[in-house]
Amino acid sequence: MPRPAAFLHRHRHFLVFIALMVVVRSSFADWNDVPTTSMDPSIRAGDRILVNKMAYDLRLPLLGTSIWRTGEPQRGDIVVFDSVAADNRLVKRVVGLPGDTVAMVDNGLRINGEEVAYVPATASDDDVAIELLGQLRHYVRRHPVGNRLSSFGPVTIPEDHYLVLGDNRDNSADSRVYGLVPRGELVGRAGAVVFSLDYENGWLPRRDRFFRSLSAMPDEA
């Protein structure tokens, strides 16, 4: 038996496992590291998040070509996308859907002419609030004064495009910097934190963040 054939036969189970992992990670589910604070406090730097790649599209393994739409992004979804404008893979929250008109005034969102409600989250940190996006409640970090990105619009969103923002509103390069996100750039929807490492504390694990759902408020997870 030729030596390459012998090698393949001897390691066939391992090679099949590797091939299946490649297929799963390219088309079905993957995990992504989050190195920045742009989604704080929902996602912290050092979190490793689970990404459902079938949330919006069924794609050909390895090629990434969409062959079937399995769903549409909803307001409040945390999406992972390969941004051509940023030349990077980003993680942000969907705020504006196709057909919406979105504006922001002093870090307060207005969607289709209606002001989004904000509720103080803690007495100790005035910059953290609970944002009410329809039925979804989630934390955001924002300052009443903000910076040059704290006001924009109104912007009307065309078909198959989305306006995304980081939950850390004063420290996020998102649609305010890179523009609207075309649907074709979407990789999937982030559903949970698998595990987390504290970069500022010797890379120690943050055990309280292991397997934390991103669809629930932090004190509900």
Q: Is 38 labeled as catalytic in the residue annotation?
A: yes
How far CA 125 is from CA of 39, 106, 129, 139, 212, in Å, comes to: 17, 18, 9, 12, 23
Quick one: which of 185, 189, 160 has its CA closest to 66?
A: 185
Q: Cα–Cα distance between 161 and 183 in angstroms, integer?
A: 6
User: Per the residue annotation, which of 42, 53, 92, 175 is the catalytic one?
Assistant: 92
Structure tokens, 88: 């990077």
Rama region for 151: left / alpha / beta (φ>0; ψ in -120 to 50; rest): beta
User: Per the residue annotation, which of 38, 150, 172, 175 is the catalytic one?
Assistant: 38
Q: Is 53 labeled as catalytic in the residue annotation?
A: no
Q: Is residue 220 classed as helix, strand or coil in its secondary structure?
A: coil
Q: Are strands 128-133 and 117-120 parallel, antiparallel or unpaired?
A: antiparallel
How far CA 71 is from CA of 98, 183, 203, in Å, comes to: 14, 11, 37
Structure tokens, 142: 């924002």
DSSP assigned state of 144:
S
Q: Any idea which residues carry the catalytic annotation?
A: 38, 92
